[in-house]
Structure 1
Amino acid sequence: MSNSLAVAAVTATLRARLYARLGGPQVTVAPPDKAPDAAGGDHVNLFLYRADLNPAFRNADPPGSPPGESPKPVLPLVLHYLLAAYSDNEGMAHQLLGAAMLALHDESVLSPDEIRAATTASLPGSDLHLQPERVKITQETLSQDDIAKMWTAFGTPFRMSSAYQVTVVLIDSARPGAAPMPVLRRGADDRGPAARPDTGSPTLLGLRYATAGQVSALPGEQVTLLTEALPAGALSAGLRHLRVRRSTSVPLSGGGGAELILTLPATDLPAGPWAVDVGPAGGASPRTNTLALGIAPEVTGLAAAAAGTPARTRVTVTAGQHVLPGQQVAVLVGTRQLAVGMLTAPTKTVSVTAELPSGKTRVRLRVDGVDSEIVDRAHGTFRTGPTVEVTIP
């Protein structure tokens, strides 16, 4: 989702768009009673006058939260803006208002690239551009009575204006959510029936990790791809990260019958969800459908130390792969999910600070929804050691 800078990020993005489209006149964000004098000469004023809760997201789990977890609900906001134009020439003010309304009408969605460009310099800590839900702009129709009451409350003479609502802005809770430990056993052979059509086309039916019950793989490990109707000749797997701009092609070796062995690159393979497909080497067609492949973060070191504030501890996790800007990261200490702030540069070390109970506890690193492995799947037990356990002072 996004942090508490999201409201300011929306305003900054709208302001940057209006300034770029108007080609010169300033764009202010002053209250209506101060807007006429907020800038010299012609200008447009964009005033945030109300913030409501979006009912659709109010009691829902945050988008993308893993099943079985209990994250704290997000703060889902609908922002209401009032757009007005000012000039010594009333005809020019009408021209500015029309141009500004068109700028908001032509592109009704604030794209991640637009948000990032508008906030990089002024709000470097904003991560609104990483929000999975798109931020949409809609013109809002107000009744004549609502307009009269609004301008009376502003304490300034009525001005020709247009109202807009921007939704949805999802702000993460500052409190840690609950992330239960993985289930070691669910029962014997609890899989249900599966049905699929036989199309005769190259198809990727599924994938199998090295150990039963495993849900992700580490760089350098082997994954078995289950296929059918593949063309003859050399084959390769295409890998594409679903959150950051990383992709690669890996040659495949035969595993017997319709099984192919994918040996994951040992380096430069960021953790998170990847899409995998199979086709002729070199990326030629025909290629199969894509399936999701989880690449787990590899934890190589853990540390915990008092944070200088009573009852607060700083937990530091060192990973084997770089965590990249644009990835959403959390450290799971026991059953507490603690979000890591937005990254501005690639790093292998992330830290969180929180009030934590003292004693030995297990720690997981979550990158884009994929957790580091703390379960020994071959024996059905939790792992122990300095890369999965830490002592909270």
Structure 2
Amino acid sequence: MYDLSVVTDALRRILIEALQASPLTGFSVGVSGQHPQQPPTGNDCDLNLFLFHIAENRFLKNSFWNQASLTDRPAGGGRHQPVSYEPLCLDLRFLVSAQSQGSYVQEQQVMSVALRALHDNATIRLTAPTATGQAVSEMTVGMEAPSWDELSRLWQALGGPLRMTAQYRVSVALLTPDRQAEPQPPVTGWQLVADPADPSAPRLDGTSRRVTYSTQDGSSREFDRTPATAGPGQLVTLHGRGLAEDDAVYLVTPQDDGSETETELDAAWKVPHPASPPAGAGVAPFLLRPPAACPPPGRYGLRVGRQGARDGRTPAVPLLIAPWLDPAGGPLVEPAGGLYALRALNVPAGAEVLLGRTVLERVGSAPAPGQWQLDGAALTLRAPAGLAQGRHPVRLRAAGVEADPGLWAVQP
């Protein structure tokens, strides 16, 4: 789900239906999800269901990635798998209290109905939108018993007089990301090497790239992308054994009919490795850097070949070519006359620009609200009408491959 208020609304519906059906409540009752300090609604009695605390569920935190199997690095090795595709597993704590203007009987009758209703609905099922469509979530509802000291400090912080109170925990609420991990193409072939005929032949195992970007508060973040996703000017590391500087590297382009074309990369792609890794280090002694005139965004392959090697060329490993969004001038981009000016490369006809989750329309002239234009490398856009104030991530993607993060449009 994207919205925690869906959980509050579901609990409110349970309480409202229970109060309407109960013979105890022959008076008007309002059920609110607002802060307990809010004034009464004008009903005889008010029942308050307030979400006052959110915490990560420690039993499910980061349980969706198997880091060692994905990166071949132990979890404590100092490099961590990004968690942007993980659901955020949350425990929600609600405060249930009643307030009547002149009758403690009404307060206690309303609380009696509410406690019974929540006890009878110890498990709730919600249908909420996600990035891949509607999804059903199941959560447990249970009463908790905080200490007197915890309750007194809580009500003191709320700034209201102490009321008859019950505390409930709802878990586990899964906040899903707006974009899921993309499915990889199916396996088309296997190669098993138990005793290679030519031990000196090069072996290519995969690609990776260290992504470094600035967050909206200016701090630096980094993570590894495996297989590598790279745009113009971004460095790619080749992993394998027996790789040499003069090895030929070929870019493999899949075709619609299942075949593939192979293009040898010229010297403009190859960059000497700054660390000069020794033989047997598991990485190539050179890096790959797509030039400005690189292939359009999409899924490609890489293979290595060496003249005279009996085993010929290595099997292809994945490489994703991405559009490039210039982070210069960021991470916050201010509008000039309502127009945001950016710089981008390798942007094909079918590319998309988004502000957060809002897809903008591409035009060939000066952009109106909700539109963007590309003139050479100059990308200009206008925020859609009604966009909320704040900072919205600028995203650029093409052929299912997204450029690195690092720019936020400031909406005044």
So what's the TM-score if we normalise by structure 1? 0.42
Larger relative contact order (CA 8 Å, sep ≥ 6)? 1
Q: Mark the structure with the bigger radius of gyration.
A: 2
